[in-house]
Structures are given as C-alpha cells and as structure tokens.
Structure 1
Amino acid sequence: MEGTRKYTAWGVDAGVRELGGLKPMLTPEEQVSLLKGKGVAFERCGEEAAIAALSERGSFLHLTSYRKLFQRHCGGPKDGMFVRLDFEDLLYLDGLDAELRRAFLSASQDVERLAKTRVIARASEHPDEDGYGIVADFMESQDKRYRNATARNLEIRMGSSVDADEYTGSLIKRYCEAMPVWVFLEVVTFGTFLAFCLFCSERWGDLALREEHYVMKGVKAVRNCCSHGSCIINGLEAGRDSDYAMSTLVFEWLKEKGVKNSRTRRKKLRNRRVQQLLETLVMFDRLHAGSGPSETCRLMSSLSGHMRQASSRFGCQNGFVSYLDFLAALIDKAV
C-alpha cells in the first residue's frame, strides 16, 4: 500500500535516511484529481488546460500555493472544501504575482544601484577619504571568517576556471591588488554593501545612513525573492504577524505621504512581506525622488492598477484582497 511505502529521503538536519508516510509524487493528471477532491473547480479553466499549465507553466507547489488565501466550507457535506475557487483563479494570481515580482525587482535593483552611487559620491567628497583606505579599513574591521569568505569569492570570480565571473571577473582582476571603493562596490554582493553602509555610517557619524542600512535589509530580501521567482501574494493574509520593528524612516515616510496611523495600517504592517515591500518603496522614493519617470515607475503604476482590478474580481470575502488594496495605495504614494 502507498501509505506504508518507505522512501530514501534527505533532510536538512538528518541527512539521508529511510522514511515512511511521505507524500507521493503525482503526475499533472493526478494533481488535477487531487484539487478536484478539495473543491477546486475546472470550469473557467478546463482540466486539459490545467494539466498543460501544471506541466509547462509552473509546478503544482507554485501554482496552487495561492489556494490557501481562499475560503473553505465549515461544516456540512463540503466541510474543508474551497468556496467558489476555480483553477483559473490560481492562474490569475500567479500572473499578478509575476507582475509584482517584475516591478519590485526593478525597484530593488534601482535602490541598490542608486545607494551605491550615493555612497561612492559621498566618499569622493569627504576630505579624509582617498577611496582606497575606506575599503582597507572596512575589510580589516570585519570578522575574519567573513573577510576571508569575501576575498575568496572575489578570487574565484576573477580566476580562469569555469566558475569565473564573465561579467565582472576582469574588473576584479585588474584591481585585485588595490581595490578602490568605486570598484569594490561594483563587484561585491548586496549583503556586503549593506555591511559597508553600516561601517560608513559609523565612520562618518551618519545616523540616517545607519537607518537606511536597516531598511535596505528588507530591500535585499525582496530582491532575492523576486530574483528567485518565489511567491509573494500567497503570504498576504492575516495570521502571519511579525514582531519586527521597522525603522523610524519608514514611519516618517508614511506620515509625509499622509498614510494615517489607522487600525488598517497597523494590521497590514504586522505582515512581514508587506513590511519588506514597503521598505523597498520607501528606499526607492528616497533615492529616486526628483529623477523623473522611469521604467520602474511605469511597472509600479501598472501593477497598482492590476491589483485594484484583482480586488474587484475577488471581492471582500477573501481577506487577501484588502492587502492588495493597501499595497496599491502605498505604490501610488511612492511613484
């Protein structure tokens, strides 16, 4: 029997071992049957189209992750089954989520680029900086393991092996013996840049840069999520409260933009995903302000409109709709 079958499985903590009671791997046809048993309809999206989507567009885990946002019947013969959920609704949210990732990836990349540019400009204008000593002092200030890991990463990327970096490897190699800040920030990771910002904030006594460093941690998380194609909308629900305390820069931005400290705002800002998306909008607005329209602004404006369309489509009976409305309002304030 399938329930008694044992699998050779790997786990993060336990490594490879034999385990029973695990979920079996299903074909797309079996996945459709499983969803039908849970009350998902295939009327607006037929079963053949759904099978094609599960075979070619996205995995079962990805496309169906949005189902938990929808209501289920409580009690009666349909207890636990979804209420008026069609597979087409899951595809719709998958498309909206992809648009959200495109817009916020563009914004997070803008933040990283503009923030690096500003730090380089700040260093060039500082009378005590020559562009080289600041990199040397930063590296010396880091934990030995972190410092060695950063150096090793750069060594591998400038090498001649298949692991070499085609795009920045030659730049690293050219400046490997004495790396100035304008090259260092061009080739290090976002995470290393954030550590560098914290170092500079202490070096220059810049409290605002220190706060921006903390806000940009959220931007980095959003950038990574969008780059890896992870779902975002499936976490826009109540019950995912975070005890993370956002920076005063974020609350100052909300006040400046006229977003009142209402019950709705407090409720939505307990969600960690909303927090990080907001942090991305705040930093984008801070760094991009006065630069005029951009491709990111266009993507964001389009996303805001489509979020409102989604709200009309799904109605207020589904809780995630209020999160879409809230995010759309924040986007409008930023762009």
Structure 2
Amino acid sequence: MKTILSTDELIEHMIHKGIKFNIETKEEASNFLQHNNYYFKLAAYRNLYPKISQGDNKGKYQNLEFAYLRELSVIDMYIRYKIMNMCLDIEHAIKVKLVTSVTDNQQEDGYDIVRQFLAKEDRKFHILNSIRRHSSGEYCRSLISKYYPYFPIWVLVELITFGDLLHICHFYEEEYQRSIIPDNKLMNTIRDLRNASAHSNCLLN
C-alpha cells in the first residue's frame, strides 16, 4: 500500500523520478496540482516518455519536464470534449434511426418490441432495475412514473445507457431483419470511448 504524499512531497517524488522543473517552477506546479489536476492523473502521461537505461540516472525519465505532463493533460481534456460530443451525436443518430424504423414498421406499435426485448433480455442486462435507480432523478422522473414498466421505444431510448441502446438495436435487427447499426463491433469501441471520456479517463497515455 502506497503512502499518501503532500503536494510538496509529490514534487520531490517527481524530481527523484527525473522529472524537471525548468519550464515551470515547483511553485507553479504545486499550484496546478492543488487547483487544476491531481498527481495520479498527471503521472499517467509519464508512460509516453523513455527512461535512462544506464549510468547513475538509470531508471529516471529522460528529458521530461513537468510542463510537458501539464500540457498533455490539457490537450487530453480537449480531446475528451471533442470525442464526447461526437459520441453523443452518434448515439442520437442511432436513436433517431431506431425510432424511425419502428415507426415505419407496420408490424410494430412501438411497445411490442420493448416488451419482447425486456421479456427476453432484462434478466441478463437488468435494464428495468437500472431505470428504477433513476426514478428519483429530476430529468427522468416524470417519464419513468408515467410509463413504467410499459415503455414505448421512443421513451425507452431516453432512459437507457448507450450499451443497452446497442443491445436493443441488435435485438430489433434480428427480430425484423432491418439494419440499424451496420457494424456493431465499431459501436462497442465508440461506447468504450464515450464512457472513458465521460469519466475523464486519460486517453493519450
């Protein structure tokens, strides 16, 4: 178990690891770590830099400035924002395509596909339990209260996760032989990117 270190101790730890403070001072770094980011996230970007392989400084980072780590963390933040926006647009487009397909499907009333899906898959994915957990939330409460547990597809897509949206699209495609998502494997990658961006995971490392 690692010991928690103060900000000043973390800076000394970085110096011991070979991280330099020539571009930004230790005081500037301390301020950044206390108000803008935390060491564990910032340190993730160290993996992008080589270590000295021999000599007295073996194992220390080679020509690594704290300012580089800081700049990477800022770039990473902007990349996450861009990716999040793109993933939200993709998610919305999938919802539109699914709802439109169900609406145009003369075999469907918008409720039946949801009944079939939940009857077959809810034990595996626990969708209704997940929806219930959000029943006190300000933004979904009225929808859940009005429709639970008999949701039409245009309401369900507002309440489920991106992952569950992919599941119901796949179920609908198999049930009616209508294409919603041409490449489901690619969507799994987008789902992972969306979740990583939403949880502020480091992407560049």
Shorter-chain TM-score: what band?
over 0.9
Query: Please, which of 83, 86, 90 is the counterpart of residue 69 of structure 2?
Result: 90
Are 1:134 and 2:113 matched, yes or no?
yes
Query: Please, which of 55, 58, 73 is the counterpart of residue 79 of structure 1?
Result: 58
Structure 1 consecutive aligned stretches of length 4 or more whose deviation exceeds 6 Å: none
> Greater relative contact order (Cα 8 A, min sep 6): structure 1 or 2?
2
Cα distance, 1:104 vs structure 2: 0.1
Residues 210, 121 of structure 1: CA spacing in aligned structure 2 closer, same or farther, 3 A cutoff? closer
In structure 2, how many angstroms separate the alpha carbons of the residues matched to 1:40 and 1:86? 5
Instruction: Give ranges in structure 1 of 5+ residues lacking alignment.
Output: 1-21, 159-163, 235-335
In structure 2, how many angstroms separate the alpha carbons of the residues matched to 1:52 and 1:214? 43
SS of residue in 1 equivalent to 2:158: helix
TM-score of the two chains, using structure 2 as the length reference? 0.94
Name the counterpart of 1:36.
15
Query: Please, which of 197, 206, 214 is the counterpart of residue 185 of structure 2?
Result: 214
In structure 2, how many angstroms separate the alpha carbons of the residues matched to 1:41 and 1:154? 49
Q: Is the CA contact (8 Å cut-off) linking 1:39 and 1:85 kept in structure 2?
A: yes
Question: Once the two structures are superposed, what CA deviation does each residue of 1:72-123 show, in whole Å capped at 9, x if it has no partner?
Answer: 1111122111111110000000001001100000011111111111100011
SS of residue in 1 equivalent to 2:131: helix
Name the counterpart of 2:177.
205
Size of the aligned set, in residue pairs, is: 205
Amino acid across the alignment from 1:205: Q
Q: Percent identity?
A: 27
Query: Please, which of 142, 152, 157 is the counterpart of residue 134 of structure 2?
Result: 157
In structure 2, how many angstroms separate the alpha carbons of the residues matched to 1:145 and 1:215? 22
Are 1:99 and 2:78 matched, yes or no?
yes
Cα distance, 1:224 vs structure 2: 0.9
Name the counterpart of 1:53.
32
Amino acid across the alignment from 1:174: K
In structure 2, how many angstroms separate the alpha carbons of the residues matched to 1:102 and 1:210? 24
TM-score of the two chains, using structure 1 as the length reference? 0.59
Name the counterpart of 1:113.
92
Name the counterpart of 1:173.
145
Are 1:192 and 2:191 matched, yes or no?
no
In structure 1, how many angstroms separate the alpha carbons of the residues matched to 2:141 and 2:184? 27
